[in-house]
Structure 1
Amino acid sequence: MKINLFVLDEMQPAAISALLTRSENDIERLLSVVAPIIERVKNEGDAALVDFNAKFDKVEMQASQLKATEAEFEQAHRNLPEDVKEVIRRSADNIRSFHEAQMPDAMWFKEIQPGIMAGEKITPIPSIGLYVPRGKGAFPSVMLMLGLPAKIAGVEHIMVCTPPAPGGLVDDATLFAAELCGIKEVYKTGGAQAIAAMAYGTETVPKVVKTSGPGSSYVSAAKRLLYSKIDVGAPAGPSEAIILCDEHADPFVAALDLLIEAEHGPDSTAMLVTHDRTLAERVLEILPGLIADLPEQRRDFCTTVLTNYGGVVLTSSLEASIAFTNDFAPEHLEVMTEDPLFVANRIQHAGEILLGSHTPITIGNFSLGVNAILPTGGFAKTFSCVTVFDFLKRSSIGWVSRQGYANIKDTALRFAQYEGFASHANAILKRPY
């Protein structure tokens, strides 16, 4: 296994551009695959979902089994080991505490000038469909990261789509996490077909106005095709991470953390970025041994990622490492440098920034409290991590008194006349007061 080593100063612009490209950016080729799936769900409803469960997840079921039952929730509660329940509860407490602190006032006003008030009213969106993936494992952490802020925001109708586990059930931990979030509406469907079901509705799965949650490239392709039918939320596709190091980083710890996101799947991206050649070479020496110790599936994923969409990037300086990181705009960023706060102040584009050698992505993904549903594919340049604001909307509010109207009407009138809006102008010119 030859892990990629990219020496940035020796690369041509086209090669650097390719290095900045993720698997997610190649979803154009999947659009034609996903489009017929969406069309079938739109036209056939539950029958299509049942068929796709059999085809893609190898699970045979009836339409009546698409929704998780109360008995299944109770069985999950009985089956799940108590220590796992406690881990989920403790993580949920941290996530809840962090997101409760984000909640804005329900309404605010500011006096713009005497007699003129402007402000906002904050209200929750009416319905949300959370997407909790399963393809390469169960992710109760994703349920917490989506369900808790949606509940805190006050969304009235929250439902979940997640691929069925073998046997046609939802995994116990995901159901337990959903119940902990106060969510009892869980549907067993995944992939592009789940996004289509939430966009159009079926006999069993209700239509919602927005979906949120990470997924495969097929899920990302479905969101792209359905963006005019449903708010698809922040783009959260295959996992990606940069571990940014200087010469003070521990190469063994850096190598450990490089594998965190690499093991998510063969379409993930994981890079260690450093200007220190000695560190880079040491990490390359350590990685094969760490990978060899992994379970077969995770070993295969890491090998694919580090020889395809990832590896070690050697730059000429810390400034060059920071510049490359900003160009890449990673989902996850770990900073292992002598002064991580200095680097954090220079980072402009990252879904999350984790500082120091005691803050691996593992902590952020599960238990720190910050949200681990983050923009991927370079969209950290324009999108943010999931927060309560993903489940809220703002309405502008204005109020003008008689005195304020007298002070501002001529300004607005002149603006209307300049832009050629006669009715705008008449609303002031012909007003009886």
Structure 2
Amino acid sequence: MSDVSFHDYSTLDASGKAALIRRSEADLSFFLEKAQPIIDAVKTEGDAALIRFAREFDKSDVKPGALKVTEAEFDAAFGVVEKDVIEAIEFGITNIRHFHEEQKPEAMWLKEMRPGAFAGDRYTPIRSVALYIPRGKGAFPSVTMMTAVPAVVAGVPDIAIVTPPTPDGSVDAATLVAARLAGVSTVYKCGGAQAVAAVAYGTETVKPAIKIVGPGSPWVVAAKRLLSGIIDPGLPAGPSEALIFADDTVHGGLAALDLLIEAEHGPDSSAYLVTHSRRVVEEALAALPEHWGRMTEQRVEFSKAVLTGKYGGIILTSSADESIDFINDYAPEHLEILSTDPFAYLGRITEAAEVLMGPHTPVSIGNFGLGPNCVLPTSRNARSWGPLSVHDFVKRSSIGYVTASAYPEFAKHASTLARYEGFSSHEQAVSSVRDQYLGGK
């Protein structure tokens, strides 16, 4: 498979190495320009714009007044989805809920900083959150599970899903099953930039939300950016990306198998096999045609576009250290460590949103229900962001309480700093003026 993009990392100059870390969403200028009129139309026209864009962009026959999924549609979904799929969703939700319940912070903590002076934190759920569930290149009940469960665990009182409708004007049945089983009963039939605008401004049907989370296309990423002053856009989750790091303890065919996982999401995905073993490279190249032979035509098309393009392929490094340096520079959404001793590498990897270790932990298992969240920061944002979590659905308030006995010492030091910084009202608030109101001398 000589057409698969191959890079001998040690021979690349600085610009060649920099090109490897670029993602498809690096230049959003086209999408930012084209998304703005869509946003404006939703703001002005409301439901009418959503109906029009559903027909134009999703080729979907959504009827006026039918933008919100009904209870009957939820009920019908359980009759359509096969039993083993429902069982898989239930299995995943159980694990995801367990993980996020363990992650949930205590509602409040308060500790004595000095005798009579207390400080701490209190966590309360965000009042309203929208969950974006993509559909353009597939159906994603797994994303429904990963976004809905932590929102429910966090106690968000108003949770709504927005997702592109199918051609017949419905919503993917497994997505509805996952929503109900996770505890979410509000689903709107809209996707793309128009969905982000709908939950930012609200329409006749769609209630506005304070925050939106969930992965999406460059259209969704662009709309989130344009509307960031209206709605909290959440963590930056764009097109899928993965690095498969393999050492010489595994077969290259296994590395090739896992390289295709995220590559099959779409031509805008990013996926690289990174290894310092030439044997692994040769075995991976030899195995790819066999793996493609067992995939569906569309997924073969998507993954080939990625692996033969400028956002994917195989990278051969000179050493494990060079591989790890590249991984930390790339800061991937998903990282697999394919090795019989993955813990030997873990301590040196600091820039990855998700690290799946060993030959029995492919991205598939992480995506579909191991427990940790698979909604992850993309485009190098793993350098400062982590996975979607319960913490994304709560807000933190600081709590302070100073008793009468502790007050004088704090007032003395606060007065000194207020005077130094030139804030007379700050100083006055802890002066003898306060003592008079408190009944002091």
Q: Output aligned runs, 1:21-420, within 5 Å.
A: 21-308=22-309, 309-420=311-422
Cα deviation, 1:160-218, whole Å, max 9, x if unaligned, reads 10000121101111111111111111000000100010101011111000000000111
TM-superposed CA distance for 1:86, in Å, is 0.9
Cα deviation for residue 78 of structure 1 reads 1.5
Shift in Å at residue 288 of structure 1? Answer: 2.6
In the other structure, the counterpart of 2:434 is 431
Give the whole-Å Cα distance in 1 for the aligned partners of 2:206 and 2:157.
16
Q: Provide the rounded CA distance (Å) in 2 between the counterparts of 1:44 and 1:97.
A: 42
User: TM-score under structure 2 normalisation?
Assistant: 0.97
Q: Distance in 2 between matches of 1:118 and 1:285?
A: 61
The number of aligned residues is: 433
Cα shift at 1:270:
0.5
Measured in 2, the distance between the counterparts of 1:302 and 1:220 equals: 22
CA distance in 2 between partners of 1:343 and 1:40 (Å): 50
d(CA) in 2 for partners of 1:340, 1:407: 53
- Return the alpha-carbon distance in structure 2 between the equivalents of residues 216 and 232 of structure 1: 14
Which segment drifts farther, 233-242 or 74-83?
A: 74-83
Q: Contact 2:254–2:284 at 8 Å: present in 1 too?
A: no
Instruction: Quote how far apart the aligned CAs of 1:82 are.
Output: 1.4
Distance 1:63 1:169 in 2: 13
Higher mean C-alpha deviation, range 401-410 or range 33-42: 401-410
Cα distance between partner residues in 2 of 1:134 and 1:36: 22
Aligned residues of 2:338 and 2:359 also touching (Cα < 8 A)? yes
CA positional deviation for 1:338: 4.2
Letter of the aligned partner of 1:278 in structure 2?
R
Alpha-carbon distance in 1 for matches of 2:211, 2:147: 13
Q: Distance in 2 between matches of 1:415 and 1:407?
A: 13
1:63 Cα deviation after fit = 2.5
Q: CA–CA distance in 2 between the matches of 1:316 and 1:338?
A: 20
Q: What's the TM-score, normalizing by structure 1?
A: 0.98
Distance 1:248 1:304 in 2: 29
Deviations 1:354-388 (A, max 9, x none): 00000000000002111110000110001110110
* CA RMSD, 1 decimal: 1.0
Q: In structure 2, what residue type is equivalent to 1:414?
A: T
Provide structure 2 residue ranges, at least 5 long, that are not aligned to the other structure: none
> Bigger CA drift: 407-416 or 38-47?
407-416
In structure 1, stretches of 5+ residues that fail to align are none
Q: Which amino acid aligns with 1:239?
A: S
> In the superposition, relative to structure 1, how do residues 41 and 423 fare at CA in structure 2: closer, same or farther (>3 Å)?
same
The more displaced of 221-230 and 59-68 is: 59-68
Aligned equivalents of 2:64, 2:19: Cα separation in 1: 44
After superposition, give the CA deviation of every residue in 1:196-255 in whole Å (9 maximum; x if it has no partner). 101010111110000000001111011111111100000111000000111112211111
> What is the DSSP-based 3-state SS (H/G/I as helix, E as strand, rest coil) of the residue aligned with 1:193?
helix
Alpha-carbon distance between aligned partners in 2 of 1:405 and 1:9, rounded to the nearest angstrom? 63
Counterpart CA distance in 2 for 1:369 and 1:344 is 19
Q: CA deviation at 1:112?
A: 1.0
Letter in 2 for 1:382: S
SS at match of 1:244: strand
Name the CA distance, whole Å, in 1 between partners of 2:289 and 2:82: 34
Query: Deviation above 6 Å: which 4+ runs of structure 1?
Result: none
Q: d(CA) in 2 for partners of 1:284 and 1:101? A: 41
The 8 Å contact of residues 252 and 279 in structure 2, kept in 1 or not, is answered as: no
Structure 1 residues 34-63: Cα deviation after superposition (integer angstroms, max 9, x where no partner): 111111111111111000000011112222
Distance 2:139 2:294 in 1: 22
Query: Within 2, Cα distance between the matches of 1:194 and 1:137?
Result: 18
1:393-419 Cα shifts (integer Å, max 9, x gaps): 100000111221112211111111111
Partner-residue secondary structure (3-state), 1:24: coil
Mapped partners of 1:360, 1:50: distance in 2: 39
